Amino acid sequence: MNNRKKLLNKRLKLIVAQILLFVFVICLWEFFSKVGILDNFLFSSPSSILSLLLFNLKQKEFYNHIYISLLETILGIIIGSAVGIIIAVVLWSSKTITKLLEPFMVVLNALPKTALAPIMIIWAGAGVTGIVVVAISILLVITILSTYNYFINVDAEKIKMMRSFQASRYQIFTKLVFPANLVNIISVIKINIGMSWVGVIVGEFLVSRVGIGHEIMYGGQIFRFDIVMMWVIVLSFFAYIMYEGINIIEKILIKKRGKGI
């Protein structure tokens, strides 16, 4: 219990320190804006951004922009992660397929996906579908390679032991490889949150008339830094919430694994 209290106190101190640091930066930014060290036209100020946010909270369009971007991001994460994990399983199950696809995976990983986003959108169509495709393209190869590397790095001695008991490849995967990498897969999904947001924002920059990316682009075009920063803050908030949600799942899995469940 004492160790638990110590860990809790340490965690609380860290949270307080983070909050104080955040408040200090905001106060410093506001002060520099008021005294003219920072140009309000270029950098705006926290008070202006807060005022704009409070105004937008009363507008229906504000929530529509958030809904569309969240929908595209979540679809990108779910589809991209699921397809990536399935392909990684296929690669693990067959060395022949792995050798066949390896050079293609290397090339795909090296391609600048954001630069190719306009072509993908033309192929998939402008709108939610095209933007989701861009998001998937950014996270798919990384998901495949990361998950596959986790699969092949499972303790070889444990695999030998299961084979000595005549376990099939399917049994080895379902009873050992996959369960042993659940936490690692969650870590990959955590990375995919950021990747999916990047793809969505890039896609919305290019073709969308709605969404957080469109609003950031619009604010930049009319030189309204307060609009840009407000939407960046909104984006950061939802990205953080999504990350923490996955983080909670990861902690639950770690606890269960520690208890041998």
pLDDT band at residue 124 under the 50/70/90 scheme:
confident
CA pair distance 102, 259, nearest whole angstrom? 38
End-to-end CA distance of the chain, in Å? Answer: 22
Nearest 5°: phi and psi at 45? -155, 155
Q: What per-residue confidence (pLDDT) applies to 167?
A: 85
The overall longest dimension of the chain from CA atoms, in Å, is: 76
CATH number given to 59-258: 1.10.3720.10
> HSE-up of 234 (CA within 13 Å, CB side)?
27
- Over residues 37-59, the pLDDT tens digits come to 888 887 888 999 999 999 999 99
146: how many CB neighbours lie within 10 A of its CB?
A: 20
What is the value of pTM for the model shown? Answer: 0.87
Q: What stretch of H or E contains 178?
A: helix 178-180
- Over residues 92-115, the pLDDT tens digits come to 998 889 889 888 888 888 888 877
CA pair distance 57, 135, nearest whole angstrom? 27
Is residue 150 classed exposed, middle or buried when 0-12, 13-18 and 19+ CB atoms within 10 A define those classes?
Answer: buried
215: how many CB neighbours lie within 10 A of its CB?
A: 25
CA pair distance 127, 68, nearest whole angstrom? 10
Q: What per-residue confidence (pLDDT) applies to 261?
A: 47
pLDDT band at residue 221 under the 50/70/90 scheme:
confident
Cα dist from 225 to 46, 148, 195, 229, 242, whole Å: 11, 42, 24, 6, 26
Share of the chain above pLDDT 70, in %: 97
